[in-house]
Amino acid sequence: MGESTLAGGERVSLRTTSDEHHARLVPHVDRLLELAEMVGRVDCESLHPVFDAEYEFVVGHLVPHMAAIERTLYGRIEAELSGHHSLAPMREEHLTINRLVAELGSYRAHAASCTWSAVEGMALRRVLYRLHALLKVHLAEEELYLDVLERSLTETEKDALARSLDQAMQESL
């Protein structure tokens, strides 16, 4: 059901492809919450490597993931919903996530030199909490929309979409 043959001859479904990619993302999303809890509670030298690793993941993998999903799935989902429900809120969330990522990036210099003030530390925690919460909800919403595709597409359409999604995700992850 909804399976496609990928480059090593492996068969994978649209649901499996999505689940595998989300499984790569969720541990990093959860680390954002852990990182927020570390700010102001652990020494900066311990915090910096975690901050840097998660920031690099967010900009190097998560943001490209969002773009790949939007390119690959959103138009198809909207077509299946026949205009009854737009993915505009999901696209708005992508914009908000990108703004939060940019704000997170503004703390990189502070993290590298361990120079943020208590107020900046609170602001950083706020960004991390917001980013974590929004991503958790957003990923769950993506699963709901994937159900629409699973129910409404033919096996051939699911095959093509699974291949497109996997290719887009390989480029971004």
Q: What is the DSSP string of 145-172?
A: HHHHHHHHS-HHHHHHHHHHHHHHHHHH
Task: Tell me the average pLDDT across 49-65.
Answer: 92
What average pLDDT does the segment 60-66 reach?
90
**Tokens describing residue 90:** 């999901």
Q: How many domains does the structure of the chain reveal?
A: 1
Q: Model pTM? A: 0.85
pLDDT of res. 173: 53
> 10 pLDDT band (50/70/90 cuts)?
low
Q: Which domain holds residue 110?
A: 3-172
Separation between Cα atoms, residue 171 and residue 118, nearest integer Å: 39
Per-residue buried b or exposed e for 131-165, using 16+ beta carbons within 10 Å of the residue's own CB: bbebbeebbeebeebbebbeeebeeeebbebbbbb
159, two tokens: 């095959």
pLDDT confidence of residue 1: 38
**pLDDT reported for residue 105:** 93
